[in-house]
């Protein structure tokens, strides 16, 4: 007789233990092993009132956010639905089978209030990083730096030329606009007005994508330890080269201050090979720059580039291919101390003039004040260690690919620089947790063998 399933799901008594239903090799089991938020309540306690109705447990909100960023669930509304239905998510968030899931609006309330005031997301990031350090995943010998552009939540049509915007006439000032104006006040006129500003998220940078239309974007800047690919620091900036370079200094100093780690070598691409940054690395921080030098001194028209001239440090002069000297002119020494000029008496009769300075009376060479640091970087570029560094740099690129493809962070949901910072911190925390599980969690047991 064909059976008939009654479909009666009315509750009687269940003997149900959530822990029994989460597979031993589930990613969240591994993450739970390495995530310790025991001191989160103490960190946040000054930001809660001692009276009134109890709030939602902040650890529950953070655990839910970690689930969202680990599994690429970007919408908080969807995250709440998933946490309601998924047993593993409930288990990880310490929710019982019948416990209510917080409303999605709780996230934005806490984020804009206590979490930002107390820098809670950085606190969580650093707790996870502490664990990576204790587990020996951060070697501290070599760090790699890079930035990746992430689209802002700003419509490309809702922008105006920077000089055309009068913010005092804008009727409803939103939170990102308030933040942007406060940052402008702080900069006290030192920042250049951008060509194009978004009215929804003015801190985002109007940036041209290769092969596509321009859009508003932020950059996530990663400082990554090359031993296991752990993100040791993350910083959000507008997608602008000079901001990305400045973030390098901020992150290196912060890691040194907070973790007591300063790398022996710093790996980066040509964007980090500016003279000023190389000078800072070599002269100030004593870090080996494994970075290609940003160099425009070579020529492509067959005339002598700067490498054809030898610098004589003892006499502070260049020696040209004809054996003559280029010196700093005493008259302009104060104004332009790093410009070296040949003598008209040497250049005029010179047989090499056509290959040296065909369109000028004399040859001039500009020397950067950080030229010695650039020479250090050039010398390092010929070593085997540098070749290894080129390979190590791929670890950052892989993290960015993972960030966009697996964690689906190719467009931000939160606005303003602080919104971008929140999202990038959470994503880096999720990546470090996943990396710890990959390196340290025991492999899943083999499935039982079933004879054919
Ligand atoms: S043109 Fe002047 S600087 Fe150039 S090789 Fe001749 S002497 Fe030297």
Q: What is the DSSP code string of 340-360?
A: EE--HHHHTT-TTHHHH-TTS
Q: Are 258 and 172 in contact (CB under 8 A)?
A: no
Question: Cβ of 91: how many Cβ atoms within 10 Å?
Answer: 21
Same domain, 38 and 160: no
Spatial contact of 273 and 250, defined as CB atoms under 8 Å apart:
no
Q: How far is 226 from 146, CA to CA, in rounded Å?
A: 12
3-state secondary structure of 409: coil
**358 Cα to the center of ligand 1, angstroms:** 10
What pLDDT was estimated at residue 213? 86
In this structure, the answer to whether residues 148 and 217 fall within a common structural domain is: yes
For residue 65, the model assigns a pLDDT of 94
pTM of the model: 0.86
Ligand 1 centroid to 370 CA: how many Å? 25
Angle at which helix 416-440 crosses helix 394-405, to 10 degrees, equals: 110
Predicted pLDDT of residue 298? 79
Q: Which residues contact 387 (CB under 8 A, 6 or more apart)?
A: none
Same domain, yes or no: 68 and 147: no
Q: Is the CB of 258 under 6 A from ligand 1?
A: no
The tally of domains found in the chain comes to 3
* 428/232 Cα distance (integer angstroms): 9
Give the three-class secondary structure for 264: coil
Decide whether any atom of ligand 1 lies within 6 Å of the 116 Cβ.
no
Q: Which of 320, 326, 364 to mutate to test the pocket of ligand 1 (most atoms within 8 A of CB)?
A: 320
3-class SS at 150? strand
Are 237 and 177 members of one domain?
A: yes
* Six token digits for residue 307: 């490498």
The answer, yes or no, to whether any atom of ligand 1 lies below 6 A from the CB of 309, is no
Centroid of ligand 1 to alpha carbon of 382 (angstroms)? 29
Q: Which residues pair with residue 151 across a beta bridge? A: 217, 411
Burial of residue 269, with CB atoms counted within 10 A of its CB: 0-12 exposed, 13-18 middle, 19 or more buried = middle
**Residue located nearest, by CA, to atom 4 of ligand 1:** 356
Domain annotation covers residue 7: no
Low pLDDT (below 70) residues in the chain: 1-14, 162, 169-172, 188-191, 209-210, 330-337, 443-452
Q: Give the residue numbers spanning the domain of 89.
A: 18-118
Q: What is the pLDDT of residue 190?
A: 66
H or E segment at 106? helix 105-110
Residue 234: what pLDDT?
96
Query: What is the pLDDT, as a whole number, of residue 11?
Result: 67
pLDDT for the residue 188: 64
Q: Taking the CB of residue 35, how many other CB atoms lie within 10 A of it?
A: 20
Using a 10 angstrom Cβ sphere, with 0-12 exposed, 13-18 middle and 19 or more buried, the burial of residue 249 is middle
Interatomic CA distance for residues 97 and 90, integer angstroms: 7
Judge whether 177 lies within some domain. Answer: yes
Q: Is residue 10 part of a domain?
A: no
Quick check: is 445 in a domain?
no
81 in ligand 1 pocket by Cβ < 6 Å? no
């Amino acid at each position: 007789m064909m059976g008939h399933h009654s479909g009666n799901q009315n509750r009687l008594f269940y003997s149900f233990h959530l822990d029994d239903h989460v597979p031993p090799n589930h990613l969240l089991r591994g993450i739970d092993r390495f995530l310790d938020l025991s001191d989160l309540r103490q960190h946040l306690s000054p930001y809660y009132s001692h009276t009134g109705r109890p709030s939602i447990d902040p650890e529950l909100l953070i655990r839910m956010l970690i689930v969202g960023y680990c599994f690429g669930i970007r919408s908080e509304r969807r995250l709440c639905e998933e946490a309601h239905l998924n047993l593993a998510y409930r288990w990880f968030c310490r929710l019982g089978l019948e416990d209510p899931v917080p409303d999605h609006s709780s996230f934005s309330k806490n984020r804009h209030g206590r979490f930002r005031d107390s820098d809670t997301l950085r606190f969580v990031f650093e707790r996870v990083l502490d664990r990576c350090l204790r587990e020996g995943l951060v070697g501290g010998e070599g760090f790699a730096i890079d930035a990746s552009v992430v689209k802002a939540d700003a419509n490309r049509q809702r922008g105006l030329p920077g000089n055309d915007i009068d913010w005092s006439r804008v009727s409803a000032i939103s939170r990102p606009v308030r933040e942007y104006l406060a940052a402008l006040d702080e900069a006290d006129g030192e920042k250049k007005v951008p060509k194009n500003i978004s009215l929804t998220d003015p801190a985002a940078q109007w940036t041209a994508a290769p092969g596509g239309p321009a859009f508003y974007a932020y950059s996530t800047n990663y400082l990554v330890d090359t031993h296991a690919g752990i993100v040791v620091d993350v910083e959000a900036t507008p997608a602008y080269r000079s901001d990305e370079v400045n973030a390098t200094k901020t992150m290196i100093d912060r890691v040194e201050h907070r973790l007591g780690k300063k790398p022996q070598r710093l790996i980066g691409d040509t964007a980090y090979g500016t003279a000023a940054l190389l000078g800072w690395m070599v002269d100030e921080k004593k870090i080996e720059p494994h970075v290609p030098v940003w160099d425009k001194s070579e020529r492509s028209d067959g005339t002598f580039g700067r490498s054809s001239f030898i610098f004589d440090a003892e006499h502070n002069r260049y020696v040209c291919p004809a054996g003559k000297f280029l010196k700093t002119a005493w008259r302009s020494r104060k104004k332009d101390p790093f410009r070296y000029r040949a003598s008209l008496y040497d250049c005029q009769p010179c047989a090499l003039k056509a290959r040296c300075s065909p369109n000028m009376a004399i040859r001039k060479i500009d020397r950067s004040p950080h030229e010695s640091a650039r020479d250090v970087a050039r010398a390092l570029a010929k070593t085997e260690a540098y070749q290894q560094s080129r390979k190590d740099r791929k670890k950052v690129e892989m993290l960015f690919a993972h960030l966009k493809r697996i964690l689906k962070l190719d467009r931000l949901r939160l606005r303003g620089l602080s919104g971008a910072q929140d999202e990038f911190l959470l994503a880096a925390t999720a990546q470090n947790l996943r990396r710890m599980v990959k390196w340290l969690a025991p492999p899943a047991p083999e499935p039982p063998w079933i004879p054919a």
